[in-house]
Structure formats: structure tokens, C-alpha cells
Amino acid sequence: MKRFWSANNFTLTALSMLMAVVIGGVLIIISDATVLAKFGYFTARPSDAFESSWLLVSTAYADLLKGALGDPAVFSAWFSGEATWQQAFAPISETLTYAAPLVFTGLSVALAFRGGLFNIGAQGQAVLGCIAAGVAGFTFGLPIALNLIVAVVAGVLGGALWGFIPGLLKARTGAHEVITTIMLNYTAGLFLAWLVIQQGIQAPGRSDAISKAVAESAQLPSPGGVLRVHLGIILAVLTTAGVAWLLNKSAFGFEIRAVGANPHAAKTAGISVAKTYVLLMAVAGGLAGFGGATQVLGTAHALTPSVAGNIGFDGLLVALLGRTRPWGTLFAALLFGALRAGGNRMQSFSGISLELVTVLQALIVIFIAAPALVKAIFRLRASRATGLGASLAKG
């Protein structure tokens, strides 16, 4: 217990989530007119206000959990034979579906971060990944398996190109990667918006901005039906293992960590800092492009201007929540996927806007990034193992 109350990573993460959930609850209450009305006569009958607030918030969060992990009622219906197993596992399938691209974009940001680079461009790289994978997916018409592999590789290369540019600019001219990647994000978004309405790309007979559908042989295999989960999540786990190996066991990973810890020392030790930056950004871009490819080939199946959604920026939060460790990023992506899947149910069942999930995610990461704040609020004892604050304070 004593160890729990010291400020270790686990405690900080748990308390950050707790605070985010509490603030989210307050937001739900103050944005509900009927409950708020009961606070009008709070002094006369405080129980009324408390009861209705509790009911509102607990139903909302219960729906969030049911949408993310599964509804006990549906599980018991499955056991008694009134529902199929697919229905019982649909919520988890949703969680994994939303998590898959976030693992890739999160890994992209996390890997770059370990090399001392702040890759805000995961969004643009993911968009390029979407474009390349999508176009390859409906153009080549190769036989099964081969078509999928070509499309995925195209996506990775597209993202790698978009990561290579800021890496090269940083190495050659010293242009700060935060600025260049932000600019490239919007450039990529506008390019996609232009591309999907071009002849040969736009779906025939459609006047709105949507491309042709990706060929079935280029789609990531999925059980189908209510289960939208696809091969992408397995690829994500494998990639996490690959990135963990790359970072911790390979020579290149050592160079990344050395440059990230101290570029001057790394240069003195004979590591080419410029080469590491360029290669690192290309690899990070490739990861984000992979994420974009899973989004198109696994879920969307066609290009639209918003096909990449917010996966790049969410990946940034995921990497921070995962403390820029590969496996941590995987778990953070699963948490974000769960919040997103649960948020959908919360929106349709309790009528609480899905945007609450964005607020929760942002709050969690704000608290995680400011361990001193959480420590001050909960009067935790200081601990040696609060790595993130120190590693983020470098810029």
C-alpha cells in the first residue's frame, strides 16, 4: 500500500484516468438541463439532485463499459441460446477495430520520440498511407494475398516518403520537425481531398467525394457480420513486437536511443546523427502509413477526404499515454479503442455526445504529462520512477 501511494507510473496512470473520469462526469451533469434543474432546489432536497446526477453519470459510464467490453445481458442471452456468440463479442471486436490503426500511429510517434524527434506528422503520414494503399488496392487487380501485400507495402512506402521529407529537412537544414510535420499534415489532407474527386479515382456514378472501393482481395480478412475486427490488430501486435526488438535489441535501435539521449555525445561516439534522423523519420512515417493502410484496407474500404479520421493525432496521445514504450503504446491504443467503441454506445443509448471521449482522452494525457500536478493533488510521495515528465521536458 505504501508503494502504491508513492508516485510510480501505475499509480499516476490510474489516478490520471480517475480524475479524467470525474471531470467527465461533472461535464455530463452540468450539460443536462433536467438534472441541473434539480440543483435549483438543492438546499431543500439535496438527495434529489444527487440521485439524478448519479443515475445519469452511472448509466452513461455503464454504457461506455458495455460498448467497449461487452454487455452482460447479451452474454447471458448467448448462454441461454437467445443470442449468437458474434453478438456477445461485437463490442470487443469494435474496440480492437478502433485500436488497430492507433497502435501503428502510436508506435510511429513513440519511436521517433525515443530518437529525440517529435513526430506530429503521423496524421499526414497516415493520410499518405491511406492514399497509397487505397489506390494500390483498386488499381492492380492482382490475385488474392499478393494484392493485399502490395497494397500494404504501398501504404507503408507512402507514409515513409512523408516521414522522409521532414527527416531530410531536419538533417540538411535544421528545420524543426514539429513545424515541418504540421505543415505536411495539412498538405497531405488537401492533396487527398483533391485526389478523391479526380477521374479514375472517384467512384463511377458518384458525385460526392469518394473513391472506388478497394478490391476484395486487397482487403484485410475479417470474420464479417457484426464482427468488424480484421487482421490489422494481429499485424499491430506483431509490429509492436518488431518495434520493441528494433528499439531495444538492434544496432539501429541503439543509435536511435543514443541520439535521443544526447545528439552531441552520439556524434562524438561516431554515430551519424543526420543519417539517424532521416532513417528514423522514414521508419516512423512508414509505421504511420501502415496505420493508414489498415484503416483503408480493414475498415473504410474506400478513400474519402476524412478516411484517416484523427488517427494521427490520437496516435500522439496514445504514444504519450504509453510512455513512448512499444508495449505501453499497444495497451494505450487498446484503451483508446475501448473508449471510442464505448463512446459510440454511450452516444446512441444515453445520448451523451461522442465528443466526451475526446475530452476524456485529452484530460488523461494532460495529467499523465504533468506528473507533478497529479502528485500535488493527491499528495503522493516522490518516487524515482517518473520517467515521462523528465523525458518530455526536453522538447
Partner 1 sequence: MSTTTVEEMAEVTAPEPFWSRQRHLGVALILIGGLAAVVFGSLAPSEDARFTLSEDSAGAALAINGQFGAVLFGLLTAAAGGVLLAGLLKRWSNVFLVAGILSFLLSFLCWQVAGEFMPLVDTTDGTLELALPLILGALAGVLGERSGVVNVAIEGQFLMGAFAGALVGTMAGSVWAGLLSAAVGGVIIAAILAVMAIRYLVDQVVVGIVLNLFALGITGFLYERLMQPNAQEYNQPPQMPEWRIPGLADIPVVGPVFFEANLLVWIALVLVVVIHFGLSRTRWGLRTRAVGEHPTAADTVGIRVRGLRYLNVLLGGVVAGIGGAYFTLVATGSFTKNMTAGAGFIALAALIFGRFTPFGAFGAALFFGFAQKLATYLSAIGSPVPSQFLNMLPYLATLIAVAGLVGRVRAPAADGQPYIKG
Q: Which is nearer to partner 1, 21 or 153 (CB)?
A: 21
Smallest distance, partner 1 to C-beta of residue 190, A: 4
Q: Which of 264, 270, 379, 384 binds partner 1 (CB under 8 A)?
A: 264
Residue 242 engages partner 1 in binding (rule: CB under 8 A): no
Q: Residue 77: which residues within 8 A CB-CB, separation 6 or more?
A: 83, 87, 88
Task: Please state, in angstroms and as integers, the Cα–Cα distance from residue 293 to each residue in 129, 205, 214, following that order.
Answer: 5, 25, 11
Residue 369 engages partner 1 in binding (rule: CB under 8 A): yes
Residue 120 engages partner 1 in binding (rule: CB under 8 A): yes
Q: Which is nearer to partner 1, 218 or 364 (CB)?
A: 364
CA R_g for the chain: 23
d(CA 139, CA 218): 10
The stretch among 56-64, 185-193, 208-216, 233-241 that binds partner 1 (CB under 8 A) is: 185-193
Residue 273 engages partner 1 in binding (rule: CB under 8 A): yes
CA 229 to chain centre: 16
Residue 22 engages partner 1 in binding (rule: CB under 8 A): no
The stretch among 97-105, 139-147, 293-301, 386-394 that binds partner 1 (CB under 8 A) is: 386-394
Give the residues across from 6 on adjacent strands. Answer: 381
Q: In this structure, which amino acid lies at residue 28?
A: I
What is the longest distance spanned by two Cα atoms in the chain? 75
Smallest distance, partner 1 to C-beta of residue 369, A: 5
Residue 359 engages partner 1 in binding (rule: CB under 8 A): yes
Smallest distance, partner 1 to C-beta of residue 108, A: 15
Residue 182 engages partner 1 in binding (rule: CB under 8 A): yes
Only one residue has cell 530518437, namely: 115
Q: Which is nearer to partner 1, 99 or 316 (CB)?
A: 316
* Residues 279-318 contacting partner 1, CB under 8 A: 313, 316-317
Q: Which is nearer to partner 1, 248 or 262 (CB)?
A: 262
Residue 59 engages partner 1 in binding (rule: CB under 8 A): no
Residue 187 engages partner 1 in binding (rule: CB under 8 A): yes
Q: Which of 190, 265, 269, 377 binds partner 1 (CB under 8 A)?
A: 190
* Strand intervals (E) in 80-180: none
Residue 209 engages partner 1 in binding (rule: CB under 8 A): no
d(CA 88, CA 98): 18
Q: Which is nearer to partner 1, 236 or 357 (CB)?
A: 357
Smallest distance, partner 1 to C-beta of residue 395, A: 5
Q: Are 291 and 103 in contact (CB under 8 A)?
A: yes
Among 66, 56, 46, 64, residue whose Cα is nearest residue 26: 56
Q: Which is nearer to partner 1, 6 or 187 (CB)?
A: 187
Smallest distance, partner 1 to C-beta of residue 26, A: 12
Q: Which of 18, 183, 244, 302 binds partner 1 (CB under 8 A)?
A: 183
Residue 184 engages partner 1 in binding (rule: CB under 8 A): yes
Among 150, 128, 104, residue whose Cα is nearest residue 332: 104
Residue 236 engages partner 1 in binding (rule: CB under 8 A): no
Q: Are 293 and 127 in contact (CB under 8 A)?
A: no
Task: Please state, in angstroms and as integers, the Cα–Cα distance from residue 90 to each residue in 71, 86, 348, following that order.
Answer: 10, 6, 16
Residue 178 engages partner 1 in binding (rule: CB under 8 A): yes
Residue 144 engages partner 1 in binding (rule: CB under 8 A): no
Only one residue has cell 507510473, namely: 9
Only one residue has cell 454487455, namely: 71
d(CA 193, CA 208): 11
Q: Residue 177: which residues within 8 A CB-CB, separation 6 or more?
A: 117, 118, 119, 120, 121, 166, 167, 169, 170, 281
Instruction: Count other C-beta atoms under 10 Å from residue 8's C-beta.
Output: 17
Footprint of partner 1 (CB under 8 A): 27, 31-32, 116, 118, 120, 169-176, 178-180, 182-184, 186-187, 190-191, 193-194, 263-264, 267, 273-274, 277, 313, 316-317, 320, 352-353, 355-363, 365-366, 369-370, 372-373, 389, 392-395
